[in-house]
Amino acid sequence: MTSTPSATPSGTFQLGGDLPVTRLGYGAMQITGEGVWGEPRDRAEAVAVLRRAVELGVTFFDTADSYGPNVSEEIIREALHPYADDVVIATKAGLTRTGPGEWIPVGRPAYLKQQVELSLRKLDVERIDLIQLHRIDAEVPVAEQVGAFKELQDAGKVRHIGLSEVSVAELEQAQETAEIVSVQNLFNLTDRSAEELLDHATAAGIAFIPWFPLATGGLVKDGGPLEKLAAEHDATPSQLALAWLLKRSPVMLPIPGTSTVSHLEDNVGAAAIELTDEQFAAMDAIA
């Protein structure tokens, strides 16, 4: 594509019915070091990626206190603060870090509240647009974990509440304590283990945020399953994989992450791709 890409053609979704976001977003896990630990290799490029994303019409940014930890949120503030009126930042709490690649669920209400207070400071905002429970802690009742966020919501420090890596039953259990406006599970063209949750979310009008939407590069590598189809459509495999997600459900909010401006621009180009039903079915068959 020779023209400047834009996320805008991906359409808009209203989080919680009142918070519009452009559907093709950005996941900020990769603007950290190896193992999602510490500083990125090139902090200036990470800042440039975030600023370029806004220029290209991306309004939905997904991060977490555990990315770095803290690093991702701090770079978002450095790059984007003061935030444009239409920029929506989703963050998460509920996983603590002991080293690169290590993630431990901690769902004690006092800890969750503390982490949200820290995220407010790191992002330099008065209210978190979307706080997500990063993982359900099996040692703590779900009502207590979600209830911690509900208390912060009632205090005006959280606008909306979401969940990450849950089943339909866990979603319904959480909904007994607070309104849940989004779920974030692993989902892509070749891993559809969360299909039941996606269908449930679609019917309920709840945002579905697929993490690893490109299967961490496996879908889009040279010789990968999408290479031939991409050539036929004058697109890249990454763009096709994202276009498939956007067509799969109107509640889908893909958040491809990258640490380079060039890769970001390629991903954003997916917003302009309109798959026919036949093309969608052909991609469906690949998996």
Cα–Cα distance for residue pair 226/283, rounded to 1 Å: 8
- Burial level of 223, CB count in 10 A (0-12/13-18/19+)? exposed
Tokens of 53: 């994303």
Which residue carries 């370029």 as its tokens? 52
Report the alpha-carbon distance of residue 207 to residue 15 in Å, rounded. 7
Kind and range of the H or E element at 47? helix 43-55
Q: Which residues have a catalytic role annotated?
A: 67
Cβ 129 vs Cβ 160: under 8 Å: yes
Q: Which residues contact 74 (CB under 8 A, 6 or more apart)?
A: 68, 122
DSSP-derived secondary structure for 100-127: TT--EE---HHHHHHHHHHHHHHHT-SS
Rounded CA separation 171/101 (Å): 26
Neighbours of 202 (CB within 10 A): 15
